[in-house]
Chains A and B, each alone.
Chain A
Amino acid sequence: MADLVSHPDEVKVVSKRFGMGATVIDRYLELDGYKAVQKALAMEPDAIVNEVKNSGLRGRGGAGFSTGMKWSFVPKTAPKPKYVLCNGDESEPGTCKDRLIFEHDPHSVIEGVMIAGLAVGAKSGYIYIRGEYRYLSIIMQKAIRDAYAKGFIGKNIFDSGRDFDIYWHGGAGAYEVGEESALMESLEGKRGIPRIRPPFPAVVGLWGGPTVINNAETLANVPHIILGGGDWFAKLGTPKNGGTRLFCLSGNVAKPGVYELPMGYNLKKMIYEVGGGIPGGRKLKAVVPGGSSCPALTADEIDVGMDFDSVAKAGSMLGSGGVVIVDDEQCIVKFALRTMKFYKHESCGWCIPCREGTDWLEKTLTRFHNGGGMMKDIDNMQYLSENMLGRTFCPLGDAAAMPTIAFVKKFRKEFEDHLDGKPCPFEKAGAQERIPVLAH
């Protein structure tokens, strides 16, 4: 069970029931639980969509697409059943927020799925939880069973004459499955290979039916929007970036943890005030603002509001809310190598630019970090990365290329410091004595 933290600047919306025992359905009911879905049952589907559109809620999984807009793409009538799919395959390095939602407030996700279903005319929803989160799938299965027992899901929900079913589904270890089309493949019992789009999931999704896919945090926000109103939610954040965000502070920071802060909260303040700064008298070197696929910002670039548009303007992405803080004792070449090792491991191999690109970049970075780098490698890594951009079916290729380009461009000197067989300047004494971990 993960520890909770708090800070006075927090504005608690999705985290407001954390630590309050809301996994127990009766306790959830005391805390305004299942009120939003009853309100939504009395609303026209278009009114629900418009409320969510007005709220400025944008996808918390990383892409930041307008949730209301996404819902509006689902056709009103369709020959096949429609579905809602909750993406709880949280696996972007630096991100550990959906875990807390499932652990502390699973019913809010169930309610969010139901409201999404009412908005688009779906009769069933699936909550996909990554395989490593076994204890959370147990919590979720109990929450679903309890909601069925109360008659909140199943036949004739809340005596409305409408039916809605919710099922849990588990993964078995694959980052790529967090991508929406690969997620559907995985749920259908296949390898998580992305699908070619168009058609988009809103038109042809799970088992060929129109499907709305939203991140767990996105869906957990929905009941609060229905109860509090879109305008209230929009005002919590910045223009076009409604609400709050669960920011996962990790890395070289004094008080790591998951903090719920308003959209647009200043990154510098987040690191130094909320996170308590860099421990041990060291200095900030870089910040990865939204999970490992987001280009790093240097210490000079952190005076930025943490909303989708401001971070994009600063040349990076708000991503999935994973803020990884890196101090001046860390080697950026090594950091870039570890990032690439991850993407190489997770590339599904379907698209050649991603499969070959991540492999060659990992090989080059490994050689580079071991002192075998050549000057021309530096430009080559950038060139190779730039040629991966936009040339794959899913964004995994981009996710590997974008941070690499930023590391090479912004920290070129550190790459140069590794040239001519010099040992890594950051490697601690005695590191060579470590026993080697066998190759895989």
Chain B
Amino acid sequence: MKFSDEFEARFAEMVPHYPTVRSALVPTLLYAQDEVGFLSDAVIAEIAGRLDLTELEVRNVISYYSMLTTKPRGKFHVQVCTNISCMVRGGEEILHHCAKKLGVGHKQTTPDGMFTLEEVECIGACSWAPAAQVNYDFHENLTAEKMDAVLEGYRTKTAR
């Protein structure tokens, strides 16, 4: 299992911050996932080995955190918030709009592997609702038209 130099530098910097190596687990998993796309068996085995844990212990942690996944996602992870502040300002409509536009439902990926749609819980954009995150980017004060432009923007990003 080979990670990028950037990942290795980050990992090497992070581990000595804690009195126990295991403490680096959660951020390490997220950085590994960012690189590989999901937490594959190989990634899990590698990280378990590095942090002196069993694979089961690592899987046990992965299953707890909503951002971590053992299944591949599309290139762009479209996360639409429908929690209360977003809901009363049309968050559900944005989610349904994305579902219609992309032709996929909750936690499903478009056949071209471009987008995965997910209905998510509060992302901390309540005062700028309705909001969504695509990968780590926030998109706020959304309307259906704005959402179309957001999705189109990501689509052309890959075409370039």
Contacts and interface: CB of A to CB of B under 8 A. Distances in A.
A190 B63 CA distance: 11
Nearest to B33: A172
Contacts of A288: 84
A92 B24 CA distance: 25
Interface string B60-76: 11001111100000000
Nearest to A192: B64
A149 B36 CA distance: 33
A195 B83 CA distance: 28
B69 to A, nearest CB: 10
Contacts of B137: 135
A188 interface: yes
B29 A172 contact: yes
Contacts of A339: 84
Nearest to A98: B124
Contact of B119 (A187, A324, A326, A437): A437
Contacts, number: 170
A91 B19 CA distance: 27
B133 A132 contact: yes
B25 A191 contact: no
Interface stretch (A112-120, A243-251, A310-318, A366-374): A243-251
Given A132-B136, A189-B25, A324-B84, A207 B20 contact: yes
Overall SS of chain A's interface: loop
Contact of B84 (A133, A251, A348): A251
Contact of A440 (B17, B30, B106): B106
A173 B88 contact: no
A109 B24 CA distance: 22
A435 B96 contact: yes
B126 A324 contact: yes
A190 B61 contact: yes
Q: How large is the interface on A (under 10, 10 to 19, 20 to 34, 35 or more residues)?
A: 35 or more
Contacts of B113: none
B6 to A, nearest CB: 13
B115 to A, nearest CB: 15
Contacts of B84: 93-94, 251, 288, 292, 324, 335, 338-339, 342
Contact of A131 (B30, B82, B87): B30
A169 interface: yes
Nearest to B93: A434
Q: How large is the interface on B (under 10, 10 to 19, 20 to 34, 35 or more residues)?
A: 35 or more
A162 to B, nearest CB: 19
Interface in A88-117: 90-96, 98-99
B43 to A, nearest CB: 14
A290 interface: no
Contacts of B110: none
Contact of A189 (B26, B30, B108): B26
B85 interface: yes
B30 A437 contact: no
Interface string A1-24: 111000000000000000000000
Interface in B109-159: 119, 121-129, 133, 136-138, 140
B64 A191 contact: yes
Contacts of A175: 121-122
Interface in A247-291: 248-252, 256-258, 288
A189 B61 contact: yes
Contacts of B60: 191
A2 B129 CA distance: 11
A342 B125 contact: no
A346 interface: yes
A188 B61 contact: no
Contact of A434 (B89, B96, B108, B119): B96
A416 B125 CA distance: 33
B132 to A, nearest CB: 11
A322 B126 contact: yes
Given A95-B124, A131-B67, A342-B84, 14 more contacts: A1-B138, A93-B122, A94-B84, A96-B124, A135-B137, A171-B65, A189-B26, A250-B85, A250-B129, A251-B88, A252-B89, A437-B99, A437-B106, A440-B107
- A-B pairs, top 6 by smallest CB distance, nearest first, are A438-B105, A189-B25, A173-B67, A173-B66, A172-B65, A134-B136
9 contacts: A94-B122, A94-B126, A96-B128, A174-B64, A207-B20, A256-B129, A335-B88, A338-B83, A342-B83
Interface of A: 1-3, 81, 90-96, 98-99, 130-135, 167, 169-175, 186-192, 207, 248-252, 256-258, 288, 292, 322, 324, 326-327, 330, 334-335, 338-339, 342, 345-346, 348, 434-440
Interface of B: 17-20, 22-27, 29-30, 51, 60-61, 64-68, 82-85, 87-89, 95-96, 99-100, 105-108, 119, 121-129, 133, 136-138, 140
